[in-house]
Structure 1
Amino acid sequence: MDGESSPRRRRRADNGGQLRRIPSQKRGRDRFEKILAVAMELIERNGSDALKMSEIVEKADLSFGALYQYFPDKTSIIRTLAERFNEQGRACVQAELAKVTDAAGLRQALCDIADQYYEFFRREPVMRDIWFATQADKLLREVDAEDMEFHAQALLAALKRLSPDRQDAELVMVSRLVMQLLAAAVRYAISLDEKEGEAAIALYKKMLPADIERLSGM
């Protein structure tokens, strides 16, 4: 029988890329972190598409049972890594948008977020690979969608401070669109070589209007 038609495969499919459980004991946490560290090393070397559970088992010196105790499939590993990296990005977005008190500050915050995201993905090849992977995998796209909505809500809070009389529905649309465009600009820039990528981010910042909060009144 082919290994991928076994109950193991059915078990992985049933979990849909979700963690089986989060360990609470130190030994379990250490094993959990070791699995993620090995996965990051393998992704950096070969890319997420080439990641195999069998390689993780071998390199982490674990049994398949120990691995599947936490991660039912490689999608659940990639999802966990993506969510961890997203936490760092969310902290950046929250910190920058929390400073906003006027239109000029809002534009500067978005410029700073674009710069920081671009630099982050340049220095983190594993996250760059995973970010692209979240666009290609249906199960992982929901992680990206949740992250984008978090960013949109953070921007919405800033827009409400600047335009308290505007309708929420208008501001929500502006918030989502602005953050989608920012993500698209960064994603495009990191697909280029470093010099061209920096130029793309610089051009994106020039294209940002000075009064972004007024877009909802167009």
Structure 2
Amino acid sequence: MSLAKADTASLPRRSPVQQRSRERMDKILAVATAMIGARGSDQLKMGEVAEKAGISIGSLYQYFPDKSAIIRSLAERYNADSRRCIEDALLPVRTLADLETAYGELIDLYYDIYRAEPVMRDIWSGTQADKQLAALELTESRICGSMLADAMARAHGAADSSRYAATAFLIWQLGEATMRLAVSVDADEGAALVAAFRQMTLREILAA
């Protein structure tokens, strides 16, 4: 046997069990997303999720011990997608003009997404009552705030972003609260609230 063949043979093959497991989890979360979008998370029943996902209730519990675990997994997925979007928008920032444009577009995009996503509105509404969801939101605000602080440092020509860390973290956390308020009122009032927040925070970001 040649060395090349020996090396190849020693490599672990991709486990079909793991692949099926990932596909099953994706199916569960897709079913839960549709159910929450239609009726809200309060009406999410584990038995119905299992039935619609085509699995036994025992199999469902192997992945998620309760519906709160499903909701947190959905929140984590949405957060990961949002983080990539924020990173893509802020990484190219080099000037104050770049920062103003990128930040303004991000605020508008966030409002549009959360207005259109009933699942995210539902997750947000439960954040204050679920300590783990609240902790997840706080962690996410720190991560996104850190990306904003880095962009602010580049735009202002500062070598260290730590001077902007507190401001950026506060702005991001206030932004979460603003979005939660904006999606709880009618579209016109919500848009006005988001515009006011964008104008107010941009002054602080560009003057920092």
TM-score when scaled to structure 1? 0.79
Give distance in 1, aligned partners of 2:84 and 2:148: 13
Q: CA deviation at 1:209?
A: 4.1
Q: CA deviation at 1:213?
A: 4.8
1:69 has 2:69 as partner = no
Partner of 2:165: 172
Amino acid at match of 1:205: R
Q: Is the 8 A contact 2:75 2:123 kept in 1?
A: yes
1:104 has 2:103 as partner = no
1:122 alignment partner, one of 115, 126, 150? 115
Amino acid at match of 1:157: D
1:89 alignment partner, one of 82, 89, 93? 82
SS at match of 1:72: coil
2:129 alignment partner, one of 129, 136, 139? 136
Q: CA deviation at 1:165?
A: 5.2
CA deviation map 1:66-87 (0-9, x unaligned): 0011111111111111111111
Give distance in 2, aligned partners of 1:152 and 1:54: 39
Give distance in 1, aligned partners of 2:198 and 2:72: 30
Q: CA deviation at 1:109?
A: 2.1
Q: Is the 8 A contact 2:153 2:161 kept in 1?
A: no
Give distance in 2, aligned partners of 1:214 and 1:200: 22
Q: Is the 8 A contact 2:28 2:53 kept in 1?
A: yes
- Label 1:144 to 1:166 Cα distance change in 2 as closer, same or farther (>3 A): same
Q: CA deviation at 1:111?
A: 1.4
Give distance in 2, aligned partners of 1:24 and 1:173: 45
- Label 1:167 to 1:195 Cα distance change in 2 as closer, same or farther (>3 A): closer
SS at match of 1:69: helix
1:197 alignment partner, one of 190, 200, 204? 190
Partner of 1:4: none
1:159 has 2:145 as partner = no
**Which structure has the larger Rg over C-alpha atoms?**
2
Amino acid at match of 1:193: D
Give distance in 2, aligned partners of 1:211 and 1:188: 21
Percent identity over the alignment is 43
SS at match of 2:106: helix
Q: 5 Å matches for 1:196-215?
A: 196-210=189-203, 212-215=205-208
Give distance in 1, aligned partners of 2:51 and 2:204: 55
Give distance in 2, aligned partners of 1:130 and 1:167: 31
Amino acid at match of 1:146: T
Mark the runs of 5 or more structure 2 residues left unpaired by the alignment: 1-15
Figure out how many residues of one structure are paired with residues of the other and give that number: 192
Q: CA deviation at 1:90?
A: 0.8
Q: CA deviation at 1:139?
A: 1.6
Q: CA deviation at 1:95?
A: 1.6
Deviates more, 1:90-99 or 1:67-76: 90-99
TM-score when scaled to structure 2? 0.83
Q: Please, what is the CA RMSD of the aligned residues? A: 2.1
Q: Is the 8 A contact 2:149 2:161 kept in 1?
A: no
